[in-house]
Chains A and B, each alone.
Chain A
């Protein structure tokens, strides 16, 4: 925010204090990203065309397949089917993971009692539990939500937990000196101080939630984007198989930047303290 250049100021060459703001010479970051992506796509196209289309695909073929799926509407209904359990499972993971992490970091007894399950849950190969989960919950919506929830709750929780432990004691003491009750210290001091960690956990969890979503669609009722992947793989239609993968990657990137955007709106101090908002 500090580096936004006032176009008017440049034209009039000096503001009321007589300062001339140096013109921005650097290439904007998103342009660099676009160039990088473009080069990668070109290289992929060149390399992909040399390979048997059953074993690999390349951007132009994927684009054609994308158009086909989009035209028939199959892609959109599949995306919608996939996103419903994703949003719910991921959302519940945030609502449970973050408060749980706050409690684990703040209360030693709570940490001693329950911390070990969170650590274990994070390391646990959840894929192995999927058959069991389907026995309990069936093959429908509930089991998908559960799998996505279980895969994404732990990174959020553990990050929050670590974040709380990194809060400087001196900030807590500001609350203590003002005789704030523990619950108020947790809400008004520990939570904002931990927010950057919670957001980092949420970003990490996106990747795991996407994987969980596809796993759920493979191993429970085959549906959504996962179904397109499986069906086209079975038909050796590799280009079509790549379409949902690309859609998922784009969605994940979009969601990550959205969370980053919300973070900068909610917690602008963090980026500014770190000096990341400078140009």
Chain B
């Protein structure tokens, strides 16, 4: 199980600039729910609140209003039912790739041979078998991000939250990792909420795409492409795929609410 519901979630940050307090409404009345086993993409321009939404679902940030519940129970902080892949990997710099993944498992109470096997399995999955003993600064940005993915997957959460997980990867590795994600998801039926800037990625992976703008949900698109979608070539060739991609593109490029208001005033 891993059903996530956001009800009326708002987040306001008070930031201090030169002694003056400014209010930033990062999220305003966000409400959507994600069914168990569903893959949902969050997409929207930079600064629209995607990371904030993900952090609130994770429990790292408390919403100013509203609440998040997982399987009908309101969350209270972080939990092993959710795992997060951060936008900037956030590996512990004094630990090797292996130790970073092992750390997560250890926190969950896994020990001994099981810990070792699990950590190695997930590092293998993200293609880092040869680099397990390197420290983060000895890894490329994309490799670091993959360790972060392995770390989140290793603790086997019901809900996987990923903040631009494949953004730092080259096209080929990205496609490979997208394939892995689809496969893992098909096998484990995890709920996945991921942030992306990539229209193709959103349409390719997601069941639904939540389009955000200025801290609000501006549209939710259903992606009714058949599964499994492991044959990327076939999917990309579909007319429905091109159509969905175009609709998503239009949705992102529609004039924003605030500009519309301004125009109606004039």
Chain A positions near chain B (C-beta within 8 angstroms):
170-171, 173-180, 184, 188-189, 192-193, 195, 267, 269, 272-273
**CB-nearest residue of chain A to B152:** A177
CB pair A176 B93 closer than 8 Å: no
Q: Are B90 and A173 in contact (CB under 8 A)?
A: yes
- In angstroms, Cα B135 to Cα A188, docked, is 16
Contacts A173-B60, A188-B103, A272-B137 given; indicate if A178 touches B92 (C-beta within 8 A): no
Across the interface, do B94 and A177 meet the contact criterion of CB distance under 8 Å?
no
Q: In the bound complex, do residue A192 and residue B60 qualify as a contact, i.e. CB atoms below 8 Å apart?
A: no
Q: How far is the CA of A174 from the CA of B99 in the complex (A)?
A: 14
Output the nearest chain A residue to B108 by Cβ-Cβ distance.
A178
Given known A-B contacts A175-B107, A176-B78, A179-B107, A269 and B137 have beta carbons under 8 A apart: yes
Closest chain A residue to B84, Cβ basis: A177
A189 to B93 alpha-carbon distance, docked (Å): 10
Residues of B contacting A170 in the complex (Cβ-Cβ under 8 angstroms): 86, 88, 90
Closest residue on chain B to residue A192 by CB atoms:
B94
Min CB distance A172 to B, Å, is 10
Docked complex: B124-183 residues within 8 A CB-CB of A:
135, 137-138, 155
Report chain B residues within 8 Å CB of A184. Answer: 107
Chain B residues with CB under 8 Å of A269's CB are 93-94, 135, 137
Q: Which A residue sits closest to B55, measured CB to CB?
A: A173
Is B58 an interface residue when CB atoms closer than 8 A count as contact?
Answer: yes
Residue contact A171 to B92, C-beta cutoff 8 Å? yes
CB neighbours (8 Å) of A173 from chain B are 60, 86, 90
User: CA–CA, A176 to B107, complex, Å?
Assistant: 10
CA distance A197 to B108 in the complex (A): 30
Closest to B96 in A: A269
B79 close to A (CB within 8 Å): yes
26 contacts between A and B (CB under 8 A): A173-B60, A173-B86, A173-B90, A174-B86, A174-B90, A175-B107, A176-B77, A176-B78, A177-B58, A177-B60, A177-B84, A178-B80, A178-B108, A179-B77, A179-B78, A179-B107, A179-B108, A180-B107, A184-B107, A188-B103, A192-B92, A193-B94, A195-B94, A269-B135, A269-B137, A273-B93
- CB neighbours (8 Å) of B221 from chain A are none
20 A-B pairs besides A174-B86, A179-B108, A273-B137 with CB distance below 8 A are: A170-B88, A171-B90, A173-B86, A174-B90, A174-B91, A175-B107, A176-B77, A177-B59, A177-B83, A178-B80, A178-B108, A179-B78, A184-B107, A188-B103, A192-B94, A193-B93, A195-B94, A269-B94, A269-B135, A272-B135
CB–CB B78/A177 < 8 A: yes
Interface residue? B104 (CB, 8 A): yes
Min C-beta distance of B42 to chain A, whole Å: 18
| Residue from the set B86, B93, B155 with the largest chain A CB neighbour count within 10 Å | B93
Q: CA–CA, A195 to B94, complex, Å?
A: 10
CB within 8 A of B92: which of A179, A189, A267?
A189
